[in-house]
Structure 1
C-alpha cells in the first residue's frame, strides 16, 4: 500500500472514530468544531467513509470488527 493510500485510509478511520463517538465529543469545546464538520458532510460522503474504514479495518486489523 502506498503512503498516500495509507494516509487516505487513516483519514477515513479517523472520521469513523469521530462518527462513532460524536455524542461524547460534542460537548467538548475543542472537539465541537470537528464533530460539526463531520455532521455537515453529506450522507453519501459519510457512508463512503464508514464503508471504506470498515473494509480497511477488516484487512489490516481483523479483530477490530
Structure 2
C-alpha cells in the first residue's frame, strides 16, 4: 500500500539522501533558478516504509 505524507522538517536529510542516491544531487534548476529540493514544501510517497516518490514545489507570486 502506498502512503502519501506532507514533507516535514525532520525529513530534510532523508529527502536529500534519496535525491542524491537517485538523481545524483538534491539541487534542481528550474526557470533559471537553483532549488535545494529538501528545503521546499511537498509530499513523499512511501511503500513498506520506503520512499518511492517525492514531489516538491515553490510558489512565487502566482506561479508554481
Which category of TM-score, normalised to the shorter sequence, fits these structures?
under 0.3
State the TM-score, normalized to the length of structure 2.
Answer: 0.26
Q: Indicate the structure with greater helix content.
A: 1
